[in-house]
Structure 1
């Protein structure tokens, strides 16, 4: 299994306009479009980063490395990335391979 983890900050515009809560709901809805609809994606979610340092954490579990590669280019994931474009910045990514 692959654990795909991203950290993001909201853009300055989102913060200046006080739209963090609204954008979180928007991003959560966007992530939900992928759950159950991308082969190899076991689960995905996004939420506030309670540890600090970054505003958001995106977490996904994928079946294997091939599933991760397919996920990156899947139309639903590409659409999600496009929706995120003006909302988040400062992306940090990690992929953890585990044996379960």
Structure 2
């Protein structure tokens, strides 16, 4: 099994209400992938509730194999969900590990 953890930091110059709306949409779009991407076995998306921390959103997902993760990365629904992320993305950190 592979665990895929991604942290996202978004633009700080967005109005708070706009940022909040965008984050909720991104969260909803990512969570919808569980029913659209066969290789995606589990997903959790969390919005940061601590303003003192650097990242705004965390994504934790699980796959049976690295091949499954690679298939997810290029899946059209994942690419589509990623487009709204890239519009406001400043920084991304990722780790993948076997468990």
TM-score of the aligned structures, taking structure 2 as reference length:
0.84
Partner of 1:8: 8
Matches within 5 A, 1:83-98: 83-98=84-99
Determine the C-alpha separation between the residues in 2 that align with 1:50 and 1:61: 23
Matches within 5 A, 1:1-80: 1-14=1-14, 17-18=15-16, 19-49=18-48, 52-80=53-81
Aligned length: 96
Give 1:39 shift: 1.5
Computed over aligned residues only, the root mean square deviation of the Cα atoms, in angstroms, reads 1.6
TM-score of the aligned structures, taking structure 1 as reference length:
0.83
Give 1:94 shift: 0.5
Q: Give runs of ≥4 in structure 1 deviating > 3 Å.
A: none
8 Å Cα contact 2:31-2:43 kept in structure 1: yes
SS at match of 1:3: strand
